[in-house]
Amino acid sequence: MRKMNFFAGPSTLPVEVLEQLRDNMVDYHGKGLSMIEASHRGGMFEEMYDECLADFRRLLSIPDDYDVYFLGGGATLQFTMIPMNFLLEGKSADYVRTGSWANKAADDAAKLGNVNIAFDGKESNFTTLPDPASVKPSEGACYYYLCSNETIGGIEWQDFPDTGSVPLIADMSSDILSRPVDVSKFAMIYGGVQKNLGPAGATFIIMRHDMLDRRNPGLTAYMDYAKHAKDKGLYNTPPVFSIWAVGLVLKWILANGGAEGMLAHAIEKSGYIYDVIDSSDFFRSPVDKRCRSRMNVVFRLPSEELEAKFVKEAEKEGMLGLKGHRSVGGLRASLYNALPMEDAASLAQFMKEFERRNG
């Protein structure tokens, strides 16, 4: 029997997708070989890949003047590639420090150029985000960088700032396709696929084509977005298995109401957990209500002993991955797209029972 999977990443995938992978692993739809044995040049891989990119465009209504492709290296490689390409000599870029992931990106960028910290969540212990309406990028900034959902801290931008002529760049690793997004507000959206879109390996890149005109000269081949844009990410060997699975997950999302459908599910699933937290003095949410994440619900119990007990007993009930990230402690339930509604309801029920026994 499958467990209830609340891991933060890699994380749960639709069981239908796992079954399709299994059924076609050895012989891909009667072609006589596996997708992961085929050349990435032409043939069955490119046919599958083109469909995957088209589905991704369709799901997010990505405008035609954006390039869409997948790279390797994880979201983390982008912390370097973005400033290498777009942080120009003698200029600066705006970064927010909103938690683990935005902070890492800001730290990497600061090694490569001038970084202006537009917001620092340190005083609040990274439990809140800027009010989007108040965001004003610095004059002449190369770009404004944010992370749409801080996977570890459990805070999520509910709306995005209007940065005018300053390109807006967002890491959407952990909430991509959990809601509709107006892509045209962004110059670039990227993320690792291993939270909401598939198994680890691929990183999606969505970039307005004219960003390529702004990049630094003299980049090495892999670091140069223009090389990847020109060949839809096939400059070198792509993470074939991951992309194959992402293609299947995108079809699953299309069949389940698209981005709107995922949002409705996310509201309902996270609602189960936040309702329990809000109606109790036993559970506590450390984050600003205004920016509560629908993907990663972070909560605390009255003591660390009770938190450890909670994790242990939940595991016995078949609920995995509820321990908070080692850097912040506490508890975290990740409720990505593929997590069944019943699993969120079961967790809420378990929380109530745990409080009754220990509160």
CB 292 within 8 A of CB 270: yes
74 scored as a contact of ligand PLP (CB under 6 A):
yes
**With respect to ligand PLP, which residue has the nearer C-beta, 53 or 75?**
75
User: At its nearest, how many Å lie between ligand PLP and the CB of residue 173?
Assistant: 3
Mind giving me the DSSP string for 143-165? Answer: -EEEESEETTTTEE-SS----TT
Q: How far apart are CA 233 and CA 52, in angstroms?
A: 13
242 scored as a contact of ligand PLP (CB under 6 A):
no
Is 171 in the active site? yes
**With respect to ligand PLP, which residue has the nearer C-beta, 201 or 247?**
201
Nearest to 117 by CA among 130, 128, 127: 130
**Marked catalytic residue, from 101, 244, 323, 343:** 101
Three-class secondary structure of residue 140 per DSSP: coil
Peptide bond between residue 10 and the one before it cis (omega within 30 degrees of 0): yes
CB 98 within 8 A of CB 119: yes
Among the candidate windows 171-179, 221-229, 273-281, 305-313, which touches ligand PLP by CB under 6 A?
A: 171-179
80 scored as a contact of ligand PLP (CB under 6 A):
no
151 scored as a contact of ligand PLP (CB under 6 A):
yes
**With respect to ligand PLP, which residue has the nearer C-beta, 152 or 187?**
152
Residue from 121, 154, 192, 239 binding ligand PLP (CB under 6 A):
192
**With respect to ligand PLP, which residue has the nearer C-beta, 74 or 324?**
74
Three-class secondary structure of residue 306 per DSSP: helix
User: Position 359: which residue type?
Assistant: G
**With respect to ligand PLP, which residue has the nearer C-beta, 94 or 171?**
171
Exposure on the CB side of residue 158, measured as CA atoms within 13 A: 13
Is 195 in the active site? yes
Binding residues for ligand PLP, how many (CB under 6 A)? Answer: 12
The position carrying tokens 């970039």 is 207
**With respect to ligand PLP, which residue has the nearer C-beta, 137 or 192?**
192
53 scored as a contact of ligand PLP (CB under 6 A):
no
Residues 88-117 that bind ligand PLP (CB under 6 A): 101
**With respect to ligand PLP, which residue has the nearer C-beta, 9 or 247?**
9
198 scored as a contact of ligand PLP (CB under 6 A):
no
* Residue 298, beta-bridge partner list: 332
How far are the Cα atoms of 115, 167, 190, 243 from residue 75, in angstroms, in the given order? Answer: 19, 19, 7, 15
**Marked catalytic residue, from 55, 67, 195, 224:** 195
CB 48 within 8 A of CB 240: no
Among the candidate windows 15-23, 71-79, 234-242, 262-270, which touches ligand PLP by CB under 6 A?
A: 71-79
How far are the Cα atoms of 118, 119, 149, 289 from residue 134, in angstroms, in the given order? Answer: 11, 11, 19, 18
Residue from 76, 116, 158, 216 binding ligand PLP (CB under 6 A):
76
Q: Tally Cβ neighbours within 10 Å of residue 16.
A: 15
Among the candidate windows 13-21, 57-65, 73-81, 273-281, which touches ligand PLP by CB under 6 A?
A: 73-81
173 scored as a contact of ligand PLP (CB under 6 A):
yes
Q: How far apart are CA 14 and CA 22, in angstroms?
A: 13
75 scored as a contact of ligand PLP (CB under 6 A):
yes
Classify residue 224 by burial, with Cβ atoms within 10 Å: 0-12, 13-18, 19+: buried
Residue from 4, 106, 147, 259 binding ligand PLP (CB under 6 A):
147
171 scored as a contact of ligand PLP (CB under 6 A):
yes
Nearest to 55 by CA among 74, 42, 68: 68
What residues are labeled active site?
101, 171, 195
Q: Which spans of this chain sit near ligand PLP (rule: CB under 6 A)?
A: 9, 74-76, 101, 147, 151, 171, 173-174, 192, 195
